């Protein structure tokens, strides 16, 4: 008995150790949850700043080159991706200095491309030349970019195309709906639009967006499925890339972040810089 009392006096019993471990576990859990939430807030905030930075870079590029850049493709390593010809099957090329290519300005990935970060001079980039959002989840975090075809005239991406066509003839037609269910297709993807009273914008020149924290799987909600973030082979309900995008209220099933370039801001900056009319 004396020996047992001495052991108890010199250390903790198993029951006491279990209680201590349970308390420590609870404390660590209560600390880790706020830290995870803080990381989410920081990633979202960083992504919003990056979206503004990219939009400013697009405006600067437009003023310097009298056109806007084409989106990068999945294999162009952050460079603009054009088509070699103005019509017919698109053979992608990244040879930006080719006069013939710049003369027609036809892009290879109008609605499902990436920010051409190398062409815009943005940093930091991943090893393949793509600009990542605040979540930095590998290729799933590559910032996306879409630009209007201006009703097939390619005026925004053609060398001096905006000046040649004149402001009154330009036709920016990218649309942003407030819900995935509002996107309407009239037979083909190119005719996609928003249902009445669901437009956030109906005539954007360009759209830049992040697929958010769940970019790797694209989310399961109807809203996210309308932004081109899942391959046809991976998703039987795949909706092809089109000129209509979704910017729904943030929630468990929607965490995409988006910004768009207003035609009025673009024209104002171009006129102020003496590039238009």
pLDDT at 60: 97
**pTM as predicted:** 0.83
CA distance 2 to 191: 89
Determine phi and psi for 254, rounding to 5 degrees: -150, 115
CA distance 256 to 108: 24
Confidence check: pLDDT of 230 > 60: no
20-29, 47-56, 143-152, 236-245: the lowest-pLDDT one: 20-29
pLDDT at 187: 66
Which residue would you say has higher pLDDT here, 228 or 72? 72
Taking residue 78's Cβ as centre, other Cβ atoms within 10 Å add up to 23
Q: In what order do the strands lie in the sheet with 144-147?
A: 113-114, 144-147, 206-210, 257-261
CA distance 192 to 124: 34
Which residue would you say has higher pLDDT here, 203 or 3? 203
16-25, 74-83, 188-197, 254-263: the lowest-pLDDT one: 16-25
20-34, 41-55, 210-224, 251-265: the lowest-pLDDT one: 20-34
CA distance 275 to 277: 6
Nearest C-alpha neighbor of 246 from the set 214, 224, 230, 216: 224
Average pLDDT, the chain: 85
Tokens of 7: 């052991």
Of all residues in the chain, the percent with pLDDT exceeding 90 is 57
Q: List beta partners, residue 193.
A: 184
pLDDT at 137: 84
CA distance 135 to 132: 8
- Quick one: how far is CA 271 from the chain centroid? 28
């Amino acid at each position: 008995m004396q020996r047992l009392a001495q052991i108890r006096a010199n250390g903790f019993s198993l029951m006491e150790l279990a209680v201590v471990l349970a308390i420590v576990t609870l404390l660590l859990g209560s600390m880790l949850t706020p830290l995870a939430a803080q990381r989410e807030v920081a990633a979202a905030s960083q992504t919003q700043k990056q979206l503004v930075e990219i939009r400013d870079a697009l405006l600067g590029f437009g003023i310097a080159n009298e056109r806007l850049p084409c989106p990068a493709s999945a294999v162009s390593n952050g460079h603009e991706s054009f088509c070699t010809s103005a019509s017919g099957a698109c053979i992608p090329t990244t040879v930006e200095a080719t006069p013939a290519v710049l003369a027609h300005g036809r892009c290879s990935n109008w609605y499902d491309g990436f920010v051409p970060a190398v062409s815009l001079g943005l940093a930091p980039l991943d090893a393949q030349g793509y600009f990542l959002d605040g979540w930095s989840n590998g290729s799933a975090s590559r910032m996306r970019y879409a630009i209007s075809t201006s009703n097939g005239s390619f005026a925004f991406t053609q060398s001096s195309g905006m000046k040649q066509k004149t402001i009154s003839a330009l036709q920016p037609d990218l649309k942003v709906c407030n819900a995935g269910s509002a996107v309407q297709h009239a037979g083909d993807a190119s005719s996609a639009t928003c249902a009445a009273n669901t437009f956030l914008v109906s005539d954007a020149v360009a759209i830049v967006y992040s697929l958010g924290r769940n970019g790797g799987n694209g989310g399961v909600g109807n809203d996210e499925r309308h932004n081109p973030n899942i391959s046809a082979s991976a998703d039987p309900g795949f909706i092809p890339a089109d000129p209509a995008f979704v910017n729904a209220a943030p929630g468990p099933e929607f965490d995409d972040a988006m910004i768009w370039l207003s035609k009025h801001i673009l024209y104002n900056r171009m006129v102020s810089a003496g590039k238009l009319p």
